[in-house]
Amino acid sequence: QQSELNSFLWTIKRHPPSYFFGTIHVPYTRVWDFIPENSKKAFQQSHIVYFELDLTDPYTISALTRCQLLPQGENLQDVLPRDIYRRLKRHLEYVKLMMPSWMTPDQRGKGLYADYLFNAIAGNWERKRPVWVMLMVNSLTEVDIKSRGVPVLDLYLAQEAERLRKQTGAVEKVEEQCHPLNGLNFSQV
């Protein structure tokens, strides 16, 4: 029952109250029905909403894209062991081949093409840092492809906040997320 679910909602006792809600980076449709009403109500009643990052800001998106890249002049082939690079390249060729069969009729109806989707996810992969390639590969599954086009929970809530004309902001900068991941050495990745 909705009322018995863990809400991932914390209340900061003040007047008016503030709330802290823990989200997950998955398509919102996978979790929306499991978010308790108290969390949805807190969101609806709020006037100001802060997110981890402002995923509606074009600067945030371009900064995230830039932070994933290897230094100028370097390619993934230069930093990965040859056997891992070859396996990765073969796997991406397999994904590209399979992607049309992984897409849903609804995605096709919205004008999404497999090549476009593959390039949107994996484009420029040879210039990305290994940690970001690992995250990209983990998202190149049939289940994840079928849910492409559905915003992740954070983005959905940000879009809803904008639609409802709530004041929004972010608690982190791209660099605060990017630098720790980029600081991992190859063996950690």
Distance CA 12, CA 170 (A): 18
Q: Return the pLDDT at 6.
A: 63
| DSSP for 100-133, written as a single string | HHHS-HHHHHTT--HHHHHHHHHTTGGGB-HHHH
Q: What residue ranges do the domains of the chain occupy?
A: 9-183
Residue 82: the pLDDT is 95
pLDDT per position as a tens digit, 58-91: 999 999 999 999 999 999 999 999 999 999 999 9
Residue 104, number of CB atoms within 10 A of its CB: 14
Quick one: what percent of the chain has pLDDT higher than 90? 57
Its pTM stands at 0.78
Distance (Å, whole) CA 87 – CA 92: 9
pLDDT digits (tens, 9 = 90+) for 116-149: 899 989 989 999 999 999 999 998 999 989 988 8
Q: How many other C-beta atoms can be found within 10 angstroms of the C-beta atom of residue 54? A: 20
pLDDT surpasses 70 at 31: yes
Q: How far apart are CA 14 and CA 11, in angstroms?
A: 9
Angstrom distance (rounded) from CA 32 to CA 130: 32
Give the position of tokens 């954070």: 154
